[in-house]
Structure 1
């Protein structure tokens, strides 16, 4: 018997394939005409099936955030993988193992001690492909722009080492998540572009090749005015979207492909609340969407019978659901199921080992048409 939304256990993760495909087409239509490759950051989906859909119109390059993801996607046939978290010497052996197996696993650094360690490790005959990370304003990792201290020195260590390829430069404008107008995001996108393109030109001026110029977040990929000088973009959450992206303006609510399905387990009219069996572990405690959607709580209820019905508080396995208006308990009986849009799809999905896939463009959209696995851990 085919599962439907009515027969699934709760809490569980629901993925609407029709919305996912629309999201991928939208990003493809942004980047293809500009001649920019898509290297999607698959830390969001952590799924080979989603990765194949996301890269279908491009050359198959991807980004990951853990070595577990790198192994999983390599086993799934992906051969050009950027491990987008700064590498440390103790992980170089794991990188080497994947590269020996035929995967071009590329790594990232922003400091000379690691550059030297990579050069030293390569003396044994193993090869490495390295990006230098640039901080374009997000304040997380990378050489700060505009100063770009040590850029040329790091590049010379890498470029001058046997068996080491300096693949290029990369950046991520994480501060784009704190803008919610097209002009505001476009300004950050231009800052991101200038930082990484300037770094690439500085290397070339010093006689050092810089073939790949890599940038990208979902907001900047969607709102950049142009991509001059950039060769690839690395958005991630665009495949699913979430309330945070809707608040920013990178998508609409109809573009959110991911939801958590939960069961109503209690009615509490004296406090105008109901309980669901999805709490902090099922939804996460990420409240990023509240920056521009103060009533989002830990997630809005999809297709709710009253406005702004949201999970307003969580304990480990309980979600407290409330709205400003009186709750229509007759429309939300005990045992009924609701779907919660996540604040941050990447964090919410991390609690689960699979996606139950539906397709809202097929029949009534309630049949489970596939199950996609995913990789967790490090």
Structure 2
């Protein structure tokens, strides 16, 4: 039997019991709202996680890279949305995946991209379905629901070219700045209302809009009504992280992902414990610095995944060194953490932390490693 004590550190630990509970809660939420769940697979980038997230082995699913699309298509996933604005140079890869039996849909928010999709499809004699990206909250890319350009951009997919309008998609990224449950609910309504309004405008103009897609983990968690929406996308809900904890989206006991590190030394005069888990293992993400509770580079837990009583965080990180101290800088008994002690660090942001590692060491509410699940990298 392999346990966490047997592993070389740093190592990425996934608690399967917490993962499964997180997945079931979101699946139940989608069912209660009467919409399809199209989970985002960008956080896990792993078939072993994805097959637990999706409602069928064929999808639906969301991906953020074409490498993910290729990887999951090789495992039999068919219904995917590549949820990053399409670069014309990537259309050949989309077509190649689709030629193997998949239906990878792309997104766009401008006429140049729409024309590029049309030109490619017409020249290659292929069909690619595309969704118009809607900006529901000024967070990032997309067209505002009431944009005067909306219909014109949608029509840049030329009829008969092979490029087909599949619907509209939005992401309430502004929900990551929400200030409480009421604000989160408001943002969920804003997300829904914006994308539904855009869909209505397209239909009134005689354009098809079968898919009306919304999604972010915060709005998915707090949303109470998705009338007019067909599907829900979210991804980090599978693992959760300290940023989601700070938003009130999850509980500490829901955090499924952590990084196992080993104590390698101390700086007694500074009240520091030094580990072998630096920013190459944890990532440089400092997202909680803008929240009420700054978690440094991560929250320190014992090898069983229970936060240590001294309220320790990783206060600083070099490439391969993590520096642990008390949150307020006060002294604590360094002797409780001798060289060789293994600790687990809950990260600020699950996506970039997982991206640093080639595999998950899977436990189930304990320290026994019951499986090793590979994950992929790159674009």
Question: TM-score under structure 2 normalisation?
Answer: 0.95
Counterpart for residue 370 of structure 2: 369
Counterpart for residue 205 of structure 1: 204
Aligned to 2:155, the other structure's residue is in SS state helix
Counterpart for residue 318 of structure 1: 321
Which string of whole-angstrom CA distances, capped at 9 and with x for unpartnered residues, describes residues 59-104 of structure 1?
7211111111111111111101111110011111111111111110
Counterpart for residue 132 of structure 2: 132
Matches within 5 A, 1:1-378: 2-56=1-55, 60-123=59-122, 124-145=124-145, 147-158=146-157, 160-302=159-301, 303-323=306-326, 324=328, 325-360=330-365, 365-378=366-379
Q: CA deviation at 1:120?
A: 1.1
Distance of 2:149 and 2:201 partners within structure 1: 12
**In 2, are the aligned partners of 1:279 and 1:318 still within 8 Å (CA)?**
yes
Distance of 2:28 and 2:179 partners within structure 1: 22
CA 1:290–1:307 in structure 2 vs 1: closer, same or farther (change >3 Å)? farther
Deviation >6 Å, runs of 4+: none
Q: CA deviation at 1:304?
A: 3.9
**In 1, are the aligned partners of 2:115 and 2:158 still within 8 Å (CA)?**
no
Q: CA deviation at 1:150?
A: 1.8
Distance of 1:57 and 1:219 partners within structure 2: 24
Aligned to 1:355, the other structure's residue is in SS state strand
Distance of 1:3 and 1:163 partners within structure 2: 53
Distance of 2:308 and 2:235 partners within structure 1: 32
**In 1, are the aligned partners of 2:58 and 2:79 still within 8 Å (CA)?**
no
Q: How many equivalent pairs are there?
A: 372
CA 1:337–1:293 in structure 2 vs 1: closer, same or farther (change >3 Å)? farther
Distance of 1:51 and 1:58 partners within structure 2: 9
Distance of 1:110 and 1:165 partners within structure 2: 14
Q: CA deviation at 1:333?
A: 1.1
Aligned to 1:296, the other structure's residue is in SS state coil
CA 1:187–1:155 in structure 2 vs 1: closer, same or farther (change >3 Å)? same
CA 1:377–1:93 in structure 2 vs 1: closer, same or farther (change >3 Å)? same
CA 1:283–1:118 in structure 2 vs 1: closer, same or farther (change >3 Å)? same
CA 1:223–1:57 in structure 2 vs 1: closer, same or farther (change >3 Å)? farther
Unaligned runs of 5+ in 2: none
Distance of 2:83 and 2:369 partners within structure 1: 33
* Farther-moved stretch of structure 1 (311-320 vs 172-181): 172-181
Aligned to 1:168, the other structure's residue is in SS state strand
Aligned to 2:80, the other structure's residue is in SS state strand
Q: CA deviation at 1:310?
A: 0.2
* Farther-moved stretch of structure 1 (10-19 vs 177-186): 177-186
Q: CA deviation at 1:165?
A: 2.1
Distance of 1:39 and 1:67 partners within structure 2: 17
**In 2, are the aligned partners of 1:169 and 1:199 still within 8 Å (CA)?**
yes
**In 1, are the aligned partners of 2:69 and 2:80 still within 8 Å (CA)?**
yes
Q: CA deviation at 1:178?
A: 0.8
**In 1, are the aligned partners of 2:128 and 2:164 still within 8 Å (CA)?**
yes
Question: TM-score under structure 1 normalisation?
Answer: 0.95
